[in-house]
Amino acid sequence: MRFLCAGALLTVAVLLLGACASNEDLSTDPDTRLAAAKRMTQIAESKAIALLPDEGVARTEQLERGTLLSCSNGYQWSGAVTARLKRGVFGSAAQQDLARSAEAHGFTVSQDRLLTGRPRYELIDSAGVQLLVTVFDGGTVIDIDSASPCIRVPDDFRPPAEY
């Protein structure tokens, strides 16, 4: 009997959650939803790049416009932010320090390797924004590519190439 009640409760919970993810969500303007995804992603980019010590950064640059990438049931906003490091700052050390600091600031952090063998760190914030941290330009630039969580849009929505 206990298993039957638990199963019934689980079924009700799944149905309620399914209703939350139904077309009711699509009543919000998709442009508004995508603008919110862009904003949340750029905030995560800014928080991550700010974890680099000021004394090691010559300048930062955040893309104003990004692209909308197709995902499982909609689109995700994708952008980037870079930090040009000051002379004498080693990109690989700055990348590792950023990853450690990100973990201490609530990001989920994992590491993999690029085809070149160099490390890449994945940071995921509490909202599900994904950031990929790599080193470029001979170790002089920290690059953070970003992607928002997948945002549902109506089936007939046609996104612009840049957003």
The two structure tokens encoding residue 9: 């409760």
How many Cβ atoms from other residues are within 10 Å of residue 38's Cβ? 22
pLDDT along the chain (163 residues), means of 10: 35 32 53 94 98 97 96 94 98 98 98 97 98 98 98 88 84
Quote the CA–CA distance of 122 and 35 in Å, as a whole number: 23
- Please tell me the predicted confidence (pLDDT) of residue 161: 80
The two structure tokens encoding residue 73: 């049931």
User: Which residue type is seen at 117?
Assistant: G
What domains can be seen in the chain, in order of their start residue? 29-152 (3.30.2030.30)
Quote the CA–CA distance of 134 and 118 in Å, as a whole number: 8
**pTM, two decimal places:** 0.81
